[in-house]
Structure 1
């Protein structure tokens, strides 16, 4: 699903574009809107976006200037420009800068929006494919890795780009499991440390900025695991900072605090409303933002964290399932067993036996 940001100083125009286009049909979702380039940049610091539909002529910061800034800050961000101009002078400038298409607002009511979005969707796919799968991209990948004494086969390029896209979703900042999985996949793919740095360092800076944290110095590293360890320490530093923060003005910090609250109270009854109160948010606003930043609902996150904690307890030599259930917040043992099975594909007893046989318990 491609995430779309609509940028236009005319609120009615924004509403019209959002309502007229069959976004879901072409795997797109409007994740936000802004009335000028400055607001768009603010939105981009805290949200992951794949495509920006931006008006060329706006106060404060126009679409062309926004494109220029994003080409440096978010080089993989795609643009579709919106315009009233008939001579398309500005449109041509935008297309030369890399915009994949344009929409004439004067003609929107007269054209088939379904067909228009289908055309744009194809261009998005072509642009991503060109970026990730062409011979030139493969050569660039090989050159980068040769400098580190490694060579990544060209056919792995698409796999690498998909992995980078998962990193860009930023769910790893809030979910330990996602972070561990991405680190493991990054190690398995076998690319160079410099290429990992190029892809992930901007995301680390984005995480710092969204949480209001000063830049963390990068230690000298020579291997991929060194950089990933630095990223892990940065992540831990963000949570330490969030724990000390008393001014709950930034949503990312609020979500971090809620994540910590869940982990600290797994043995208790956990509800979205009570957790929201801990960070001074309404239940509905908290629930929407929790899923937006973490990638799953609050309820599902609690389930996953409880099962994760249960796994650790099951690794002990002398523990009973009946004792573990209440320790991770389940008074009903049978319900705990059902949840554990749903998430792992085995019962707690089976999981314990497997770990005992493998020598992990």
Structure 2
């Protein structure tokens, strides 16, 4: 994996590049971003990277000046320059300093990002192979024995992360609160950089916008994973709200999202697949197939789990008899409710209330 720093005075431009590019596909990780050359030098003083994507026209310290300074301090750094300048003589000065490629911002929207990053990654590989084994750059600042230990830990974390990325890519988190919470917790547990997480998830939010509903995505200046996941939660809530108000149900992901919202708002009612399917003009069998495809779970199982999830909240927040809790979530038979609750949680509703009410009231 090659580490990357994005340097651009346009915040939305920086985050757009982070979200647009398929970094991990081509062996790259975005380690951070900086708003100008001065901030980039501060970043590099404590976090070395392999490749810098740098805007040439910035205040304080511009791109050319940054590259010249870094050539003295960090001779092994590689650069991809970004510019609005169409005058190739201006770009040539950056190429002479050591840039391996350049991106025209004016053509960015029409650029094939996959092809662009493929080309850049190949040039990074070529440059790395040209360097001698005796290079005194930052890559040899770690002893061989420590490098081996670090590589073992990195390989384990990488395997875990790729497994989590696969689950994020399934998109079930858009529809399912439990899966969303599990993925957020699992991702936090790996202690990854905010940039590495954002570059994966921002691409998925763009995919969700295209396939589910148009939502205005105002990306914040997040400083850590907690900030980013708060924003991701609000983005997801906005998708649900937009879907519940949408009347055009020709789009299947949108239709399923609308049904998920309906289920969550009507857990106290009797919910039958045939009646639900009719709301989006589908046969029961076709609805069942697509519901499982997009949520990862059969309709009945999804409803059952959502009811028990709501029951957990009610048991802690409301001092009400179990029969009332059961009715609130759509179960008329309290014995059946207790059986289902026990199957899914491993304890009775009474045991759950006793255990978690104590925690809540502390």
State whether TM-score is above 0.5.
yes
Aligned partners of 1:272 and 1:287 also within 8 Å = yes
Aligned partners of 1:315 and 1:360 also within 8 Å = no
Aligned partners of 2:194 and 2:224 also within 8 Å = yes
CA distance in 2, matches of 1:341, 1:242: 33
Aligned partners of 1:254 and 1:279 also within 8 Å = yes
Q: Which residue of 2 aligns with 1:331?
A: 332
CA distance in 2, matches of 1:316, 1:248: 36
CA distance in 2, matches of 1:289, 1:353: 39
Q: Which aligned runs of 4 or more in structure 1 are off by greater than 6 angstroms? A: none
Deviations 1:203-257 (A, max 9, x none): 1111111014155121111111112122111111111111111111111111111
- What's the secondary structure of 1:185's corresponding residue? helix
Q: Which residue of 2 aligns with 1:240?
A: 241
Aligned partners of 2:291 and 2:297 also within 8 Å = yes
Report the CA distance between 1:170 and its aligned residue. 0.5
Deviations 1:116-160 (A, max 9, x none): xxxxxxxxxxxxxxxxxxxxxxx9xxxxxxxxxxx9940311111
Distance 1:314 1:235, change over 3 A: same
Q: Comparing both chains, which one has the higher relative contact order based on Cα–Cα distances under 8 Å and sequence gaps of 6 or more?
A: 2
CA distance in 1, matches of 2:217, 2:238: 9
Please say if 1:355 is aligned against 2:359: no
- What's the secondary structure of 1:259's corresponding residue? helix
Aligned partners of 2:215 and 2:239 also within 8 Å = no
Please say if 1:252 is aligned against 2:253: yes
Structure 2 unaligned segments of length 5 or more: list them. Answer: 1-110, 123-138, 140-150
CA distance in 2, matches of 1:230, 1:250: 25
Q: Which residue of 2 aligns with 1:174?
A: 175
- What's the secondary structure of 1:358's corresponding residue? helix
Q: Which residue of 2 aligns with 1:227?
A: 228
Structure 1 unaligned segments of length 5 or more: list them. Answer: 1-67, 76-95, 97-138, 140-150
CA distance in 1, matches of 2:323, 2:340: 14
- What's the secondary structure of 1:315's corresponding residue? helix
Q: Which residue of 2 aligns with 1:279?
A: 280
Q: Which residue of 2 aligns with 1:310?
A: 311
Q: Which residue of 2 aligns with 1:156?
A: 157
Distance 1:272 1:69, change over 3 A: farther
The alignment covers a number of residue pairs equal to 222
After superposition, residues 106-125 of structure 1 pair within 5 angstroms as none
CA distance in 2, matches of 1:173, 1:74: 28
Distance 1:167 1:355, change over 3 A: same
Aligned partners of 1:325 and 1:336 also within 8 Å = yes
Aligned partners of 1:174 and 1:259 also within 8 Å = yes
CA distance in 2, matches of 1:297, 1:278: 18
Distance 1:72 1:259, change over 3 A: farther
After superposition, residues 23-34 of structure 1 pair within 5 angstroms as none
Distance 1:164 1:157, change over 3 A: same
| TM-score, normalised by the number of residues in structure 2 | 0.57
Q: Which residue of 1 aligns with 2:135?
A: none
Report the CA distance between 1:358 and its aligned residue. 2.2
Aligned partners of 1:152 and 1:191 also within 8 Å = no
Report the CA distance between 1:316 and its aligned residue. 2.8
CA distance in 2, matches of 1:265, 1:74: 47
- What's the secondary structure of 1:221's corresponding residue? coil
Please say if 1:291 is aligned against 2:287: no
Distance 1:74 1:232, change over 3 A: farther
Distance 1:209 1:74, change over 3 A: farther
Distance 1:359 1:234, change over 3 A: closer
- What's the secondary structure of 1:222's corresponding residue? coil
Distance 1:181 1:209, change over 3 A: same
Distance 1:347 1:176, change over 3 A: same
| TM-score, normalised by the number of residues in structure 1 | 0.57
Report the CA distance between 1:281 and its aligned residue. 1.7
